[in-house]
Each structure stands twice: as C-alpha cells, then as structure tokens.
Chains A and B, each alone.
Chain A
Amino acid sequence: MTTTTSPAKTTTSVAQPSASLLERFRVPGAFFLGAVLLLGIAPIVLSDFRLNLLAKYLCYAIVAVGVSLAWGRGGLMVLGQGVFFGLGGYAMAMHLKLADAAATGQTLPDFMQLYGTGDVLPWWWKPFANPAFALAMTVLLPMAVAALLGFFVFRRRVKGAYFAILSQALAAALAIWLVGQQATTGGTNGLTDIQGFFGYDLNDPVNQRTVYFIIAAVLLLLMAAARQLFVSRYGELLIAVRDSEERVRFLGYNPANVKLVAYVVAAGMAGLAGALFVPAVGIISPALIGIVPSIGFVIGAAVGGRASLVGAVLGAVAVAWTQSTLSDAYPAAWTYLQGLLFVVAVGFLPGGLASLVTVLRKRRIPTRTTGETA
C-alpha cells in the first residue's frame, strides 16, 4: 500500500510529458483537417442530395456536442434534448412560415388557414415575424427553459435516475402539448413545407449548399467552444462534480451552478441545431422531439464516445447515416441494429468507439468515461 514514508520526502518521480511539436499541434491540426473535410472536400465530392443529408446529420452532431459536455463531462443524463431541439426548431420555423406567408401576401401561415379558428395570428406568434427576435429565441428560449428546470432540479439535488426521468418526461410533455395545439402549432404534422430562408429560396440547390456551409461552420465553431470549456478550469470542475458532487460542495462551490451551466449550454446548442435543421430539412414536428428522438440524440454520442468531443460528433453522424441508409430499405433490420447498438455500445463499450482508439494507443492517463452522478 505504501511506498512513501513521509509527506515531506516523496521520492517517486513522474516523467513530465514533453510537449513535442506533434503533441502541441495535434488538436489544432485535427480541427483544421476537419474544417477542410467539411467545408472543402465534402461540398465537392457529394451530390446536392447527399450534401443535404450530411447537413441534417451535422445538426444531430451539434446536439451531440452539447450532450458530450453535459453527459460525458458533467454526468448529466440529458434524455430530453428533443425539447431544446424542438424549441429552437419551432422558433425558426415560425419565423420562416410567417415570412413565407408574407411573401405570398397572406397574413396567416398556410396550416392556420386550414385548421385555424379565425384569421387572427395568435399573439405569441407575432414577435416571431421579426427575424432578429426569432433568431435570438432559437437559442435563448431553450436556454431559458433549461435554466428554469435545471435551477429547480439541481438546487434540490435531484440527480441520477430522477433527473433522467424528469428530462424525459419534459420531452414527452412538450411533444404531447404540440400535438394538442393543432390550430396554432400544426399539431402532429408540425410546421412543414418551408419555402424560404431569410429571403432565399430553399428549393434552389445553391441556397441549400449555403445552408450546409452555415451548419458546418456552426458545428466547427461550437466544437471549438466546447473544446475550450473542456480544457478550462470549468471543465476540470465539471468532472470533479460528476465524480464527487458532495466533495465539491465542501470545497465551497455550489455544484448546482456548475451543472446548470453545462445543462444550459447544451440546451442552447440543441436549440441552435433545431433552428438549423429547419432550413436543411424543411420541417419540424413533434415526432422529431419526443421521447424516442430524445434518446436518439444521446445514442450517437454514446456510440462514438460520450466524453470525447470528436467521438460524440462522429458517432452522431455515423448513427444518423446508418439510420437513413438502412431504415428505408430494411426498416426492421435497422430497428434491430439500433437496439443492438444501444446494448453493445453502452453496455460493453461505455467509452464508445473513441475508447477503442485510446485502448489501442495505450495512453498514459486512463480516461474513465462512465459518468454516473448526473
């Protein structure tokens, strides 16, 4: 047990990791490579159709960045990211629907004319006609909801399973509420058939490509921001809170606030992802934000490696890609595969595919990735 005898005279020495050139430029280099792939190569080699699919996957990847922060680093089992994705998506879609209507000289979006109770726009739709307001809301609305829920939940130390179930229930509640308000939210159909994006016609492939570039750039930016959070003092504190919340409290920190920041930032990222999803795919609906898709947001990160930023992003893209490749041709096979992915990736490879890389490289410092404290 003990090799050292005195706290004042410890003799064990540890080799200082020498910051070789390779080591120093590994992260910026990988980032640059990713940027070249996403912004340079992908648009050249992929057809319009494929690029548009990739845009959609990258939206899921943006959610995964937040999941990696909140769940991978913070141990918060965020099973309700669909809520924030949905809030961002609806905020964007409401604006685009209003803009579409205005472009054709209507005052009401098409679905309201179909199911609507009158010809007056509901009061809470009105501010979304303003593009700046709508854009701000795509991020602020999810963050506000997360802050509110997180404040009450973390303050009372509701954690682990409780938190997971509550956030899941929130996703279910929002989806059910949206379905119930057909006249003002489009109900089960959601907000569909979106034509324009701030004056640009989304049916034009050139504009679709622009949307792709915006999404890819946002993803890269958020990855850089998340990376900064990971290596910052806050990132270290977040791991400390995940592993021993009580100990952190005795050091004079309020762990509730530490978790709240991660949760709110992750929510903002999911909201932005939802907002960008709308011009890329042209729809936002309750089916995209309920319990099932909410768990889907987590699985990509789990498969790739929840605590590894790159792992989570690649995992999200890979899972989404597999899904759309398989689910049309072999829907049954896809469902089995998806189930198996959960079982194998989470059950037997909790560090995700990223941990395979780590194992192969035999890194000096083991990175345990199972956060159980939430």
Chain B
Amino acid sequence: MTVILNQSFTGVSIGAVLLLIALGLTLTFGQMGVINMAHGEFIMAGAYTTYVLQKSISGAGLSLLVALPLAFLVAGAMGALLEWLLIRRLYTRPLDTLLVTWGVSLMLQQLARDIFGAPNVQTAAPDLLTGNISVAGTTLANNRLFILGLALLCVLGLTLILRLTPLGRRIRAVVQNRDLAEVSGIATERVDRTTFFIGSGLAGVAGVALTLVGPIGPTMGTNYIVDAFLVVVVGGIGRLKGSIITAFALGVLQSVLEYSTTVSVAKVIVLVAIVAFLQWRPQGLYTLRTRSLA
C-alpha cells in the first residue's frame, strides 16, 4: 500500500514538473500552432536566473522567491523577442518554425555555455524545502510538494487570466478563430506577442522549479522538451484541461512503469501508449471543433 502511495506521489510530482513545462507550450503551441523548440532554453534561462540570484542575494529562500517573478520576466522577454524576430514571419509554415527555433535553441545553449561554462551547476534549496513530511506512512518531499503547489498556482493564475481578463478573452478568441478575431478589431499580432510572453514566462517559472530537483546545465531544456510536447499533443492542442490531465496521467504512468521495469523501458512503453491513445483520439483528449475542411 505504501509502495503504491509512494509511487503515485512520485508520479504526481513528475506530472507537476511536466505540467509546469507544458503549460507555456499549451499557450504558444495551442494558439499559434507554433512548435517552439527553444521553449526548453527558456526553462534553462529561468534556472540560471535562480542561480545568478542566489549568488547575489544571500538566503536561499529569499532568492527563490525573487527568482520566480524575475525568471518569468526574463524568459517572457526572451520569448517575446523571439516571436518578434522570427516566429511571426513564419506563421504560415509551422513545421519550418520547429527547425528555426531548434536553431535558436542551439545558439542559446551555446550562449549559456559561454557565460556559465559547460559543467552543470547547483543551487542550494531553502531549508524549508529540503525536508520531508510524512502523511499516512508516505514520505512526501517538501520540494516536490512545493513544485506541485507552484504548478497548481500557475494553472489557477492562467485560468483566471484566460477567463476573466479582457486579454484572456482576446487570447481565446484568437485561438478559436484567428480571422474572425482579426476582423472583429482584435490586434492579433499584439495578442500573439503577449501570449508568447506569458507562455515563455511560464517556462521560466518551470526553470526555477527544476533547480529544486536537479542540476542546472546548458542542455537541461532538451531533456524535458519532447515529453512536454507529448503532453500537449495528447492533451489536445490549445486545451488547458487536456494538458493538466495528461501531465499527471503520464507522470503516474511513468513512475509506475519505472517501478515495475526500468527507466528506459518505461519511456518506450509510455511512447507506445501514446501512439495507441492517438489511435483512439487522434486530435488529443480535448479538441477544438472547427468547421473547416481537414
């Protein structure tokens, strides 16, 4: 019983990390059909922001708290810049965007290597987050709980923005029907850039969270990016609800499989499961219905 609980908690915390990363993608991939491979490097930017802050601010707790909004701004600004420089020119060619942003991601990784060096670095976690608490015989690591909370907070924040603010209404309008939104007087270009800012900023926040569970390195983004895209694909492009369910489902599946087999076999099985799932629902868990052909 405790084994099951422990594995489910591990799964949920893997899911929380996946969700944090996929949230931003759901926005950018969902809204514009843009596959931004540099999303992983925005995660990296968030992580390095934490690292730099910790070197300049004493007190791991304070620096972490400052890092969260700052990483959001840093990664968000990078995202908006990327959108303005390249992505907006490529809206009609989503697959080419994938390769272009991959090129950007290579350059950003090298930039990180030049600035911070190739070896991984570490940050110290605040004391509060290093311990465990026990609930019903299960050990819950504080840092994992923190990430779970952070992920849920981000989901809540994003949902509120999308549902309640004028900006959110505009974003949803553009997702559902870009042309109509445009002729209705919405400046779709500005909405795109704002969406990209928020989506990329969320990657920065994810980066801060990742410093609590692993090392910071130039290639850290690449390790997560494909999994995060799979979450968005399975969840249904542009659907927040789908991404949330999928992130946790994949997290739990992964951790259960890792427990019963090995990490590498688990990866393969998860992939097969995803292909099988797409047989059943090729457009993902939740779909936006449009009347256009094909």
Contact = CB atoms under 8 A, between A and B. Distances in A.
A162 B233 contact: yes
Given A166-B274, A180-B262, A347-B89, A341 B103 contact: yes
Contacts of A162: 233, 278, 282
A302 B271 contact: no
Interface residues of B, number: 45
B212 to A, nearest CB: 24
A299 interface: yes
Contact of A291 (B90, B109, B222): B222
Nearest to A178: B264
- The binding surface of chain A is classed by DSSP as helix
A343 B104 contact: yes
B274 A180 contact: no
A334 to B, nearest CB: 9
A177 B268 contact: yes
A295 B102 contact: yes
B294 A164 contact: no
Contact of A347 (B35, B90, B233, B294): B90
Contacts of B263: 176, 180
Interface residues of A, number: 52
A29 interface: no
Contact of A173 (B86, B96, B113, B271): B271
A372 B102 contact: no
B99 interface: yes
Interface in A331-374: 332, 335-336, 338-343, 346-347, 350, 370-372, 374
Given A339-B107, A343-B100, A350-B93, 10 more contacts: A157-B282, A158-B278, A160-B95, A166-B278, A332-B110, A336-B110, A340-B103, A346-B96, A346-B99, A372-B96
12 contacts: A158-B282, A164-B35, A169-B271, A172-B226, A174-B268, A176-B268, A178-B264, A246-B293, A299-B99, A302-B99, A343-B104, A347-B86
Interface of A: 77, 79, 149, 152-153, 155-158, 160-162, 164-166, 168-170, 172-174, 176-181, 244-246, 291-292, 295, 298-299, 302, 332, 335-336, 338-343, 346-347, 350, 370-372, 374
